[in-house]
Amino acid sequence: MSVPKAPSGHFTLLYFAAATSFTQKQYDFIPAPLSIEQLHTTLETKYPGISERILKSSALTINLDYVDVEQELAKGIDGMQIQPRDEVAVIPPVSSG
């Protein structure tokens, strides 16, 4: 997947698997800085139902490092801040069989 560079003051949010199906997109550009809690709120506003159906069971990475989402959500807006030019990915669980 080739993703264009995020505009100034934004970060790139990549969607994979079920997240791509839900949003009908492979990526979004979101204004930064933004906490993990604010990211969840922003995505729920943009894609109603995504919190329950996708985000609650998905992993999240920032610049390829996994984030402890539960811990960051507990911190609220004082948690880790996603910065402009960061690359964030929503990675739903993958089933095998």
pLDDT digits (tens, 9 = 90+) for 57-84: 999 999 999 999 999 999 988 999 999 9
Domain range list for the chain: 10-91
Q: In what order do the strands lie in the sheet with 59-62?
A: 27-31, 10-15, 87-91, 59-62, 65-66
Q: Which secondary structure element, helix H or strand E, spans residue 1, and what is its range?
A: none
Class of domain 10-91: alpha beta
The secondary structure of residue 78, as a DSSP letter, is G
pLDDT digits (tens, 9 = 90+) for 9-61: 999 999 999 999 999 999 999 999 999 999 999 999 999 999 999 999 999 99
Mean pLDDT of the region 85-89: 97
pTM listed for this prediction: 0.92
